[in-house]
Amino acid sequence: MTFASFIRSLSLVLAVVTFTAAVAQEDQGWEGAPALGISGFLDVFYVYDFNRPPGDFRQEFLFNHNRHNEFNLNLGLVGLSLEHPKYRAKFTLQTGTYANDNYAAEPGVLKNIFEAWAGVSLNRENTLWLDAGILPSHIGFESAISMENYTLTRSLSAENSPYFLTGAQLSYSPDARWKFAGLVVNGWQVIQKVSGNSIPSFGTQVMFTPSGGLTLNWSTFIGTEDPDQTRRMRYFSNLYGQFRITDKVNLLGGIDLGIQQKRKGSSDYDLWFTPTVIGQYLLDPRWKTALRLEYYADPGGVIIPTETADGFRTAGISWNLDYNPAPQVACRFEARWLGSQEPVFRAEDDLRDSDFFVAVSLAVKLEAPSVHKGP
């Protein structure tokens, strides 16, 4: 798919949504002009990795801030959004090392699409929505936008589960506390379906937010990354809770659990899991600090393949210090240690069983006020 054909397809989707709105103007809520929003984000970083790994990236299983001893752009975004009580759309372009690393399997200019989707309300109360396109993932508690997370770098859990999915999502929010969603997608973090694969993948989400200080979420994925001839089914679950303990203390805990068939039709499965705990403390309105503990076990090498007998078994600890001189600006520092039973970390002298690095980042996030277009 070329960039021009992608834009034509997106324009067609938007045209269908607009036409639906136009023919239904007599129905309550379809009248009025939509609001147009503009957003942007920049995350410039520097990392010093004491393993001093050679080449263009530090570690194969990291996709953010993954360069050594150089200043670089992790992620730059420019986006347009359309908001109406009955329909919505968003189109965001991206660039940076995150786009190069995490979209390596996608051809050409598709790497520059961060998200591109359109949605329409399916009921009078606007509690049932159908969205389709390149969507933010329903899995996990961290996003690709660093300012939205407690820590500068992403957890091993986030780095090795989908940041995005391509397909359709049906979501239902009966009130402000509950969200239910079901998805049909092309696969595990891909824009285009794997060649030779004839079946879609599926996902579900249940989110419960009884108050501003508590969020509980359970998300799943069922599908395959293989063509039909070698199809191994994958079943994945992500469960997390986010808690506001006091006005100054936030806590986040989650666990991922996945299994995948060892071969097509097999009743034997490889299993991987990863627990993560992050605590954040607000020192004052401008200063914050956070501590993360994590463990990633993938003995079968399903998600993170290695040449070791015991696969990828890694523990990690990181400490963050953040300074926010304004709500739109973040100056961040992180020190992170990762350790394994086996040599799995790239270094100047082949592989080592541990890795320590420090990272700094300057990020700016801007959202222009929405403006109404049309009569």
In a domain, residue 260? The reply is yes
DSSP 34: P
- Name the 3-class secondary structure at 206: strand
CATH code of the domain covering residue 236: 2.40.160.10
**Amino acid code (one letter) for 211:** S
28 lies in some domain: no
Give the angle subtended at the CA of 359 by the CAs of 357 and 364, to the nearest 5°.
165
Q: How many residues does the chain have?
A: 375
| pLDDT for residue 354 is more than 90 | yes
Range of 268's domain?
Answer: 3-22+44-372
Query: Would you say residue 202 lies in a domain?
Result: yes
- What pLDDT is stored for residue 369 in this prediction? 60
Q: How far apart are CA 155 and CA 235, in angstroms?
A: 21
Confidence band for 29, pLDDT divided at 50, 70 and 90: confident
CA dist 190 and 137 (Å) reads 11
Cα-based angle 319, 364, 216 (whole degrees, multiple of 5): 55
- H helices of the chain, in order, are 3-23, 97-102, 156-159
Question: Is 125 contained in some domain?
Answer: yes
pLDDT, tens digit, 9 for 90 and up, residues 113-127 = 999 999 999 999 999
Structure tokens given for 108 = 């050409």
pLDDT at 326: 96
DSSP code per residue over 300-319 = T-SSS--SSTT-EEEEEEEE
Q: How far apart are CA 129 and CA 177, in angstroms?
A: 16
Between strands 113-121 and 249-261, the pairing is unpaired
In a domain, 75, yes or no: yes
Q: What is the mean pLDDT of the chain?
A: 91
DSSP H or E run through 90? strand 87-95
Highest-pLDDT range among 20-29, 178-187, 344-353: 178-187
Q: What is the pLDDT of residues 258-288, one digit of tens each?
A: 999 999 999 999 999 999 999 999 999 999 9
Beta-carbon count within 10 A of 20 CB:
14
Residue 140 belongs to a domain: yes
The residues pairing with 165 across neighbouring beta strands, listed in sequence order, are 135
Is the pLDDT at 194 greater than 50? The verdict is: yes
CA triple 324-320-49, angle to 5 deg? 120
Which amino acid, one-letter code, is at 91?
A: F
Q: How far apart are CA 216 and CA 206, in angstroms?
A: 8
Q: Report if residue 81 sits inside a domain.
A: yes
Distance CA 224, CA 233 (A): 5
For the chain, the domain total comes to 1
- Per-residue pLDDT, averaged over 231-241, amounts to 98
User: How far is the C-alpha of 234 from the C-alpha of 46, rounded, in Å?
Assistant: 36
* Cβ(23)–Cβ(16) below 8 Å: no
Strand segments, DSSP code E, in the chain are: 35-49, 71-83, 87-95, 113-121, 128-136, 164-172, 178-185, 201-211, 214-223, 234-244, 249-261, 269-282, 287-298, 312-326, 329-340, 345-347, 350-352, 354-372
Tell me the pLDDT tens digit for each residue of 283-322: 999 999 999 999 999 999 999 999 898 899 999 999 999 9
Residue from 91, 58, 51 nearest 74 by CA: 58
Report if residue 33 sits inside a domain.
no
